[in-house]
Every structure is written in C-alpha cells, then in structure tokens.
Structure 1
Amino acid sequence: MNPAGAPGSLQRRLLLAAGLFLGVAVVAAGLSIGFVLHRFVRGQLDGRLDDRLLSLVSDLRGGPGALSLGRDRDGPPFDRPGSGWYWQIRRGDAVLGSASLDGRRLAVPALPARRRDPDAPAPADGTGPWGEGLILRVLTVPGPAGGPPTVFAAAAPEAALRGPVWEALRTLALCLAVIGVFLFAGVMLQVRLGLRPLRGLRDQLARVRAGRLDRLPERQPAEIRPLVAEMNALLDQNAAQLEHARGHVANLAHGLKTPLATLAMALAEPGADRDGSLAPLVEGMDRRIRHHLRRARAAALGGPARSRADLAAHVADLRLALTRIHAGREIAVATAIPDGLGVACDPQDLDEMLGNLVDNACRWCRGRVAVSARREGAQVVVRVEDDGPGLDAAAREAVLQRGRRLDESRPGHGFGLPIALELAELYGGSLALETSGLGGLAVRLALPA
C-alpha cells in the first residue's frame, strides 16, 4: 500500500497518459477525416447540380412571358415528386420547374450582393415544398436589354449528403477504434519493455540486500546508469562506515581485554571473590568481547557481504540449550520453522537475538513457549510467544530501553531486548512487541531473507 500523498505506479501513469493522447489523436483524426469527407461529398453533389444548371442554361427557350426547354430534363431522379431532387427556372413571373416539384414552387433564398464570382453557381441551403431540407445551387443570368434576370436553381436533399457521410463515418469509426486498440497494445508493450530495466534493478538490489551481490552491475541502460552509480557509491560509503565502526569496536574490545585479564587474575587470588558472583560476570564480559572481536575480524576479511544463517538449525540448538538451562521448570518449547528458511545476517548475531528473546520467554512463561517463522516478501518474520502475564502498551515501550527492568526480583540486566532491537535494525529489520495467542507476550522479529 502506498502512503498518503505518495505517487502511484509509474507504469499506470505512462499508460494513462498514452491512452489519453491516443484517444485525443483518434478523435481528432476522426473529426478531420469526417470534415474532409463531408466536403468531398458536398463537392460531388455541387458538381452534379452545377452540371444540371449548365444544361438548363443551354436548353432554355422562350421570352419573358413563357419559358421552355429544348428537350426533356426530367430524367431520374428529377422525375419523382417529393424526392428532394428539383430544378427551377424563374424569369419575372414566368416559372418552369421539374416534374418532381409536382406544380409547386421552390423557395430560392436571396444570394449575397457581393460574391467572389457572380457568373458561377452559388451554394445555398433551403427548404423544399414538403418541408425537407435541401442543398441548393443557384445561378443568376442577367436578362437581355435590361429585362429581368433569369434565376436557375437546382436542389438535392440533405439526406444525399448525410447518408454517404454517416455511412463512411461508421466504417471510419470502426477502423479508427481497431487502430487505437492496436496502438494502445503497442504502447503497453513499449512501456513494459521500457520499464524492464527498472524491474531488473529492483531484483539486483534485492540480491545486494540478501548478500548475494556486493554492488550493482554497471552494465545498465544509459538512462539509469547515473542512478546505479549513485547507488553503488552509497553502498561503498555504507560499507566503509560499517568497517570503520567495527574497527572502533575491535579497538575498544582490545582496549578492554588487558584490564579485564588483570581483573580476572586478581579475582583468582584466594579470598578476592568471597561469594563467587564476580567471576561469572568477568567470564561473561570476556566472552562478549571475544565475540565482537571475531565479528570485527570477519568484517575485515569478508567485506560488506552478508552471510546466511539457517534459521531452523539455530532455533533447534537454542531450544536444546534453553530446555537444559530451565530444566527445573518443565517448559514446553514448540517450534514451527520451515526447512531451508534462511536469514541474511551473521550466525552469531542471530544466536544473540534469538537467545535473548527465547530466554526472556522462558523466564516469564507459565509453561509454554512457541517459536515460529515464515517468509513475508523480502523478509523472514520470527515470532516468539509465551503464555506468561504479558505487558501493556506502556510497559512494552519501556522494556525496549537499555537497562530498564519492570521486575527487579527476576534475574537479568535489562539489556536483552534493546540489544536484539539494535541488531535487527542494523540488518534493516525490526522488532515489535505484540499480544500472544497463548495469552502472554509475542515478540515479532523481522530480518532480511
């Protein structure tokens, strides 16, 4: 899930933008082609009507009072009454019309006084005798010797224009829709191919996180090569800082070894440790210092790469050791860990984290402890549960602080959970306290797989 305000999928944004622009382009192409098609069909109709007008002009006979044609001009479709295909000639009060007018008169609109070419037919729109819409072509020929002009008009029904145009537009819309679908499919393929290097980069980063790669490969597309270079620089910087920090730990451990050895020799003298409580503490401190020395040495030899620890094997060894330590309490430790499930961290660090968590569960339980683990994406989640008294929210926050103990009557120093938390965060994991299904406390430890 994306946090509030975070940008969405890059692939979805690219596809939405491509779909929007493709839709606009297809609609614009359809409108443009429709406009051109409309003008083409209108031009064909105008040319046909102009031919009719010129033939009428050439065949006109008669004077101002009577008009006639040299031959019949009422061939189809001008012979069907109400067809919308009409012609009419008017000179003064004399009117001659096509058979399709059936004796009616055609209302010819007045033409503009100023036209580009007064001697050529002019376009007009009108209404037929039966109320149908018409496309008109009108030609005005001046009369002889100052007589009235002769107005020639030829008409075609608007359906003759709309019908072919709509029929062509339906076919065009289907073709454009198919083209749009194929173009969008091509865009989808292009986006997936274009984003494939990013998915590969994500997998390579996961391999770096899991310890299978030290750095990202430098063979990358030119567009993401600067990003890879910055990531590798960050990895190198983190590795150098980690090596520097572990060097300080090694120096500190070396600095403590000599006084600790002196203290151990002093406690070994007769009467120095009367109740015998100091020697085990010195021995534990020496063991921890040796452990951190080994970690610093391993980091110096192996670099920043992480090792892999088999979770089931470590939990099995820990279970055996803790059941012996708490043998007097008859604690049942149940484990549910799949075989082959591993975590990308140092085995000794894993033992320290699990040891603190399971030991705390054994100390506070009534008799049952459960350790389970499962893979969740790029992490392995380990749950350590007990059937003890549990903790409320305030107490859970308090026990994660160093040296903070809620019950001073129980043995311990209050450092176990904070140490486990710091080690988990060192590896990019987390540690959280929850309510156990057994009734007590559940510790959720997340580590990189």
Structure 2
Amino acid sequence: MALLAAGLSIGFILHRFVRGQIDGRLDDRILSLVSDLRPDPGGGLSLGRDRDGPPFDRPRSGWYWQVRRGAAWLGSASLDGRRLAHPDLPERQRDAGTPAPADGTGPWGEGLILRILTIPGEGGAPPTVLAASAPNAALRGPVLEALRTLAVCLGVIGLFLFAGVLVQVRLGLRPLRRLRDQLAEVRSGARDRLPPRQPEEIRPLVSEMNALLDQNATQLEHARAHVANLAHSLKTPLATLSMALADTASDRDGGLRRLVEGMDRRIRHHLRRARSAAIGGGARTRVDLATHVGDLRVVLARLHADKGIAFLLDVPDGLAIACDPQDLDEMLGNLIENACQWCRGRVRVAAQRVGSEAVVRIEDDGPGLTGEAASAVLKRGRRLDESQPGHGFGLPIAVELAELYGGSVRLELSDLGGLCVRLTLPA
C-alpha cells in the first residue's frame, strides 16, 4: 500500500512537472509572437519574422499558434489554413496580463493543451488574442513512459521488501517457535520449566509462564499430599477392622474380609500414585486394551450370569492405552458394569485409534438416558433409580480418571437402542 501511494504521488508530481514544461514552452511562443507583432497599414496583422519553426511547421501535429484581432488572424503552418477554436476565458483571466491555461479541441478533433493571452485594444480597437497549443500526447506520452519505468522500479523494490519481510518474520518468530517446542517439552514432562534465557521481547511472557507452572506444581503437590494423608488415615482403621474380622466367626463366608481387602488394595494403589508423583511423576505405561476388556468380560459375564448377556467385542489387537493398568480397569469396569446392569441382553465394546487418541465405545440395548438424565448421572452420588444397587460414584470416578489423563467421557445414543458411553484416552 505504501508503494502504491508513492507511485500515485510520484505520478501526480510527474504530471504537474511535464505540464509545467509544456506550459512554459507555449508561453515562450506567445511572448515571442507578441514581440514580433507589427502594425499593418490595412488594419491586418503581420509578424516581423517567421515563427513556424519545429514543431509548429508540421501539419496536424497539435502544435499550433494563432493570433486574432477582430476579423484579422494569423496562424501557424501546422494549422494548414484552418482556424484554432478556443474557449472564451473568464474576465479575470483575460485581464490578468499573462497567458492562462485552457483545454480545447483542434481543427481535426484532437485534444489540445492551450495557453491563451488577451491584450486589450487601444482607442476602441478590438483586443488581440494570442493562443498556442500542444497535443495531449505531448503530456500523456512522457508521463506514461516515466510511470512505466517507475512501476518496474517500484515492483522490484516491492519484491525485495516482501522478501525482506519474509526473512524478518522468519527470524523474528524463530524465538516463538523455539518457545512452542519448549512448552511441548514441558507438557510431555521432558522439562519442568521454560529456560529463562530468552529474547528480551518474550522474557516477561516466559516469566509469567514459569510462575504459572510453579503455582500449578505447588497446588498439585498439595492435592497429592492431601490424598496421601487421607489414604494413610484410612489404612489404620482398615487394618484394625481386618484383624477384628479375622478374630470373629460372624463373617462365615468371608464377604466382609474380601470387601476390606479390596478397599485396602485401592488405598495402596492411590498411595503408590501419590508417592510416585511426589518423587517426580509416574511414567505412563503401555496397557493393551484388548486384554483388559477380555478379562472384564469374563468377570462380568459370571456376575450377571442370570441375564445371559451377549458381549460383542470389537477391539483391535495391539491398541495400547497410555495410563495406569489399575486406572484403566477402574474406568472400564465401572462403565461396562453399568452397561451390564441396565442392558436387556446385549453389550457391545468397540475401540479404534483416532490420531493420538484411543476411542472406546461401550453400548447397551437398555432404556437409555435423556439429555437431562445424562448430565445428572455424571454428578457424584446421583442415582436415577434408587431401587438398583450402587452408590452413584461409578460414572463420576470414570470421568475424573479420564480427565486426569487428558481424556474425556461423553454420553450418546446407541444404535442398539440404549446408552453409548464414549471414553477417549491417550493412545
């Protein structure tokens, strides 16, 4: 835009400069005619010498001059005996005593640039009007020629400027690309903070990001410490309860002892996670999805043997999930257990890899859920049917675990007629 504005400005200046040169040349011709005018005894007009030098000697060239006083007139050889018509000037310009500009048309219809001088007559004599003209091409040709050269020069300058801007942007944005890569390393766990040595322009941004990372790390460590403290506070009562059940004969089938042992295993699991996170963050492990889904199908088929559930599995071999195996069992166990509880006879588990994520779809042919009910069951402790066993924590726990690994849980409609739970986890 700057080059375009510069080109237009230079073109306007060139136009005025060339027009000034032409006007000066025509004014010189008019003044020379005034100096050469001689009185004629017969009342006509005459010149002291010939004023038809080039280019005023070429017929139809557009370079004309003419002197007129009443009915008498003199013209250049280029007029070829014809008269030059010109517009009447306003009185202010006629009385100025200097040639005035005007535009007109030549005897053969060509466009002309005119300069006209009016000399008042003396003693009632008519005024003497002297006019000189140049063709419009005399102005348009040089200006267009100069503008073509100017356009080429500005185009070359524009190309160099554009290339310079590209180089400048690439060099200028290189620190931002490097900062993006460093942020990716922070997100992947390769580094804890951004390097403080940065260009001066982005150093405040890096400082704020590091402060945010430090704040998040502190808050996360406090949360993990609270989880560890809670787990430790529960371990002692569970150990006491386990010993009390071992000394009594009331728990004949061992159901309470198995329940206590399961609670103890879960507490130990969360303790290990809190401890590994406090040391430096637990590394994600590679968990084969098909194996865990197959194990859960065997267990849940026995638990719901009375319903005779038909399990439809479509999980490709080799599809691995990047999360803790026990967390995966807890998420899939809660979701498939819900499907088994509400289905009429069919449960389908399908999985596929989509980019860097694995999408697991757990569907049933049960009654399904409406939109309001689907959002309600994701709240902790919320149960839509109090007659069914459970505590209302299964779905919210699955949601929290999925979000912990950067995934999600969505409830949709299944083409089996019931509910479809879409579990997304990092592959």
Please, what TM-score do these two structures have when normalized by structure 1? 0.77
Aligned amino acid, residue 425 of structure 1: E
Residue-by-residue CA offset, 1:378-419 (whole Å, 9 max, x unaligned): x62432323431522244333323334455676544322111
Equivalent residue runs for 1:25-44 within 5 Å = 25-44=2-21
Match in the other structure for 1:369 = 348
- The 1:340–1:174 alpha-carbon spacing in structure 2 relative to 1, beyond 3 Å, is farther
Residue-by-residue CA offset, 1:290-345 (whole Å, 9 max, x unaligned): 1121122112211xx4522324x2552452354255355575463535747553x5
- Residue 155 of structure 1 aligns to a residue whose secondary structure is strand
- The 1:341–1:115 alpha-carbon spacing in structure 2 relative to 1, beyond 3 Å, is farther
In the alignment, structure 1 residue 354 sits paired with structure 2 residue 329: no
Contact persistence 2:296–2:333 (CA under 8 A): no
In terms of mean alpha carbon deviation, does 418-427 or 46-55 score higher?
A: 46-55
In the alignment, structure 1 residue 254 sits paired with structure 2 residue 232: yes
Offset of residue 87 of structure 1: 0.8
Equivalent residue runs for 1:394-413 within 5 Å = 394-406=372-384, 412-413=390-391
Q: 2:298 aligns with which of 302, 311, 323?
A: 323
Q: Give the distance between the partners of 2:84 and 2:117, measured in 1 at CA.
A: 17
Match in the other structure for 2:188 = 210
Offset of residue 164 of structure 1: 3.5
Match in the other structure for 1:8 = none
Q: Give the distance between the partners of 1:39 and 1:77, measured in 2 at CA.
A: 22
Equivalent residue runs for 1:73-92 within 5 Å = 73-90=51-68
In the alignment, structure 1 residue 53 sits paired with structure 2 residue 30: yes
In the alignment, structure 1 residue 266 sits paired with structure 2 residue 249: no
Offset of residue 74 of structure 1: 2.8
- Residue 30 of structure 2 aligns to a residue whose secondary structure is helix
Offset of residue 436 of structure 1: 3.1
Say which structure, 1 or 2, has more relative contact order (CA 8 Å, 6+ apart).
1
Q: Give the distance between the partners of 2:410 and 2:93, measured in 1 at CA.
A: 90
Residue-by-residue CA offset, 1:7-36 (whole Å, 9 max, x unaligned): xxxxxxxxxxxxxxx2xx233222211111
Match in the other structure for 1:97 = 75
- The 1:200–1:369 alpha-carbon spacing in structure 2 relative to 1, beyond 3 Å, is farther
Q: Give the distance between the partners of 2:219 and 2:82, measured in 1 at CA.
A: 105
Aligned amino acid, residue 353 of structure 1: M
Aligned amino acid, residue 309 of structure 1: T
Offset of residue 177 of structure 1: 5.5
**Which runs of 5 or more structure 1 residues have no equivalent in the other structure?**
1-21
In the alignment, structure 1 residue 391 sits paired with structure 2 residue 372: no
Match in the other structure for 2:407 = 429
Q: Give the distance between the partners of 1:413 and 1:142, measured in 2 at CA.
A: 116
How many residues were matched structurally? 419
- The 1:447–1:438 alpha-carbon spacing in structure 2 relative to 1, beyond 3 Å, is same
Contact persistence 1:358–1:384 (CA under 8 A): no
- The 1:360–1:319 alpha-carbon spacing in structure 2 relative to 1, beyond 3 Å, is farther
- The 1:349–1:223 alpha-carbon spacing in structure 2 relative to 1, beyond 3 Å, is farther
Q: Give the distance between the partners of 2:285 and 2:96, measured in 1 at CA.
A: 95
Contact persistence 2:276–2:282 (CA under 8 A): no
In the alignment, structure 1 residue 308 sits paired with structure 2 residue 284: yes
Aligned amino acid, residue 291 of structure 2: A
Match in the other structure for 2:213 = 235
The share of aligned pairs that are identical, in percent, is 67
Offset of residue 421 of structure 1: 1.0
In terms of mean alpha carbon deviation, does 293-302 or 155-164 score higher?
A: 155-164
In the alignment, structure 1 residue 68 sits paired with structure 2 residue 43: no
Residue-by-residue CA offset, 1:105-140 (whole Å, 9 max, x unaligned): 54474476589995x654444444556543223456
Q: Give the distance between the partners of 2:340 and 2:183, measured in 1 at CA.
A: 38
Q: Give the distance between the partners of 1:128 and 1:41, measured in 2 at CA.
A: 21
In the alignment, structure 1 residue 224 sits paired with structure 2 residue 213: no
Q: Give the distance between the partners of 2:411 and 2:120, measured in 1 at CA.
A: 104
- The 1:382–1:103 alpha-carbon spacing in structure 2 relative to 1, beyond 3 Å, is closer
Q: Give the distance between the partners of 1:335 and 1:259, measured in 2 at CA.
A: 43
- Residue 257 of structure 2 aligns to a residue whose secondary structure is helix
Q: CA RMSD in A?
A: 3.8
Equivalent residue runs for 1:7-22 within 5 Å = 22=1
Q: Give the distance between the partners of 1:165 and 1:232, measured in 2 at CA.
A: 61
Match in the other structure for 1:137 = 115
Contact persistence 1:331–1:368 (CA under 8 A): yes
Q: Give the distance between the partners of 1:338 and 1:281, measured in 2 at CA.
A: 33
Contact persistence 1:89–1:97 (CA under 8 A): yes
Q: Give the distance between the partners of 1:316 and 1:230, measured in 2 at CA.
A: 44
Q: Give the distance between the partners of 2:357 and 2:204, measured in 1 at CA.
A: 32
Offset of residue 252 of structure 1: 1.5
**Which runs of 5 or more structure 2 residues have no equivalent in the other structure?**
none
